[in-house]
Amino acid sequence: MSWRVATDRALAPAGLTNAQYAVLASLHGMSRSGARPSQRELGEASGLEPMYVSKLVRALESAGLLRRDRDPADPRVLRVALTARGTQVTETAARIVGGLLEELLTPLGGAASARSRELNQALQVLATHAVAINRAGVRSEEGLTL
């Protein structure tokens, strides 16, 4: 079973999907550092396509989990913030996903093990490299943009 499917199943009782959680968790992290991101910034942080983020944000706003406000400095920009209910749901979902991650990493000694930290560091290096390749528009031998 894929991680997305596993998180979709685990988050279903909280009324969320993996993609919705990715948006909420990214927003929660950004908000904790004092940021009030635009929809575009939230999309970049969550790693999801801008049009998909827009659709997810509208659904999450309809569910009362976040709100969008026009940026006073640039009315074309929508700033996104969690509602109190959105913060509560996100924190509950984070505990659910944390438990799932702990279960997944059991063969490596659990999420806090040295092996899991090494895996996390390696994955961060790969993710950073993938972002750099994507921004540069590097093409594969088959002509596909990576």
146 pLDDT band, cuts 50/70/90, is low
pLDDT for residue 143: 54
pLDDT for residue 106: 93
| 55-86 pLDDT, tens digit each | 999 999 999 999 999 989 998 998 999 999 99
Domains of the chain: 3-104 (1.10.10.10), 108-146 (no CATH)
Closest to 21 in 3D by CA, of 33, 34, 10: 10
* Pair 117, 124: CB distance under 8 Å: no
